[in-house]
Structure 1
């Protein structure tokens, strides 16, 4: 069952401070406020090139995107596809490269995920078909998310957020009901000094996981948690290192447009 969760996952990227009643001291009033750092540059034309130990090159480029339901999204394109873009790519994309639509807001990097339902349903049907002779009928994928939250902003260590939550349900051959729940989450942990061919950077480590729960009528539910990929992000640079199903890719060159 682990392979089912892993395959499905591969198809699928606000801070409040209270104050007391006491009058602030002069030191509090004069406290230096740290500037908000940009860990996710998104100017059109920006490009990042990565290399792994096997000599494979991955290129990510920000391009003009499209408008969906009155909202304008930019697009990142990965060549060849990496694990993240395979998860979040638009089903309607006719490009050989993987394309993901996103927009940057004060609260975070938001993904256009409406079309993901179609892709997940297609893959689940294909994945379950040969399993013990099962066949799926009246199978649906439900998600209340038009957008997923890829990265919570402003980014700092110690954040946890829900990327997207999806529930799928159907009927197996023989009449048994089946339900699959998937939760994709992000977590920012410690800061780390990362040295890659492009230089040495102080990064925040961001880990993405999915939690899957499979329920079949009359059987004990099974659960599974898997780390999908890990990013190391540096301010005013973006993703410096990627660890995913394809290995570890390190930044060798980048060009940020103004």
Structure 2
């Protein structure tokens, strides 16, 4: 008789870990904790400037998960091109993990008073296959829901909206879980990510190892529905809502943010230095 606990927790846990990383990368925005003791500056965010990292600089972040895992992320503009009279920044975010690193490329541009982040099919999902490969043979992999768009109102004042465009991200993996003694087990994992629009709830000064910045604090959420089924094991389905608090500054992008799941897991990111 197959022990269900020897099968489902490992692939589902790894799946969620990579999906959360992707969700951060999708919009090039990550996570960090609030500090109610900060003093609101006299001069708030300049409404005319885009929320895009400055070309020619490199931004290094520290990412800490609730399980104690610490990772590093480096973001920089790789190039700026003119498209129909509009400057489009090609940005790369490289996340360094324990056994290597993965990169996500995306575009950002400002138009009609709003900054848009655009992500095509991300290479980050190759990391998921890499995670699963030691424990399973991948038979089929399907991913839809791209391009994704996240749109910030450049004003960055209280009630300024952040909205999302694009279909929900859907992923389905068919595989055979490797069993050392006995027959391999047919299994399938599917996951759906749906973003919910949000807004600025506060303007405040935020201090990080990289300095003090006048920030807009945005709040929004996304919902993940994960399903797991395997031969001889009852199907499992879990739904999580992840609440995001995000601090941004014009011509920088992320300063801080925090993601907290409905299960109490958190992922915290903080700007460490600008070079």
Quick check: TM above 0.5? yes
User: What CA distance in whole angstroms lies between the structure 2 residues aligned with 1:57 and 1:166?
Assistant: 25
User: What CA distance in whole angstroms lies between the structure 2 residues aligned with 1:171 and 1:140?
Assistant: 9
Contact 2:223 2:242 in 1 (8 A): yes
The answer as to 2:171 corresponding to 1:168 is: yes
Structure with the largest fraction of strand: 2
Match of 1:187 in 2: 198
What is the CA-CA distance between 1:205 and the residue it aligns to?
A: 0.8
Equivalent residues in 2 for 1:1-258, closer than 5 Å: 1-11=12-22, 12=25, 13=27, 36-41=47-52, 44-45=55-56, 47=57, 61-65=76-80, 73-77=88-92, 81=95, 89-90=104-105, 100-106=106-112, 107-114=114-121, 116=122, 118-120=123-125, 122-130=126-134, 134-143=136-145, 145-146=146-147, 148-154=148-154, 155-158=156-159, 159-162=161-164, 165-173=168-176, 174-185=185-196, 187-196=198-207, 198-199=211-212, 201=214, 203-207=215-219, 209-217=221-229, 219-226=235-242, 230-234=245-249, 236-239=250-253, 241-243=255-257, 245=267, 247-249=269-271
TM-score normalized by structure 2? 0.54
Match of 1:31 in 2: none
User: What CA distance in whole angstroms lies between the structure 1 residues aligned with 2:256 and 2:102?
Assistant: 15
Query: What are structure 2's unaligned runs of at least 5 residues?
Result: 1-11, 28-45, 63-70, 177-184, 259-266
What is the CA-CA distance between 1:216 and the residue it aligns to?
A: 3.2
Contact 2:95 2:103 in 1 (8 A): no
TM-score normalized by structure 1? 0.57
Alignment length, in residue pairs? 206
- Give the secondary-structure state (helix, strand or coil) at the position aligned to 2:131: helix
Query: What are structure 1's unaligned runs of at least 5 residues?
Result: 14-34, 91-99
- Give the secondary-structure state (helix, strand or coil) at the position aligned to 1:89: strand
Over alpha carbons, which structure has the higher Rg? Answer: 1
What is the CA-CA distance between 1:163 and the residue it aligns to?
A: 6.2
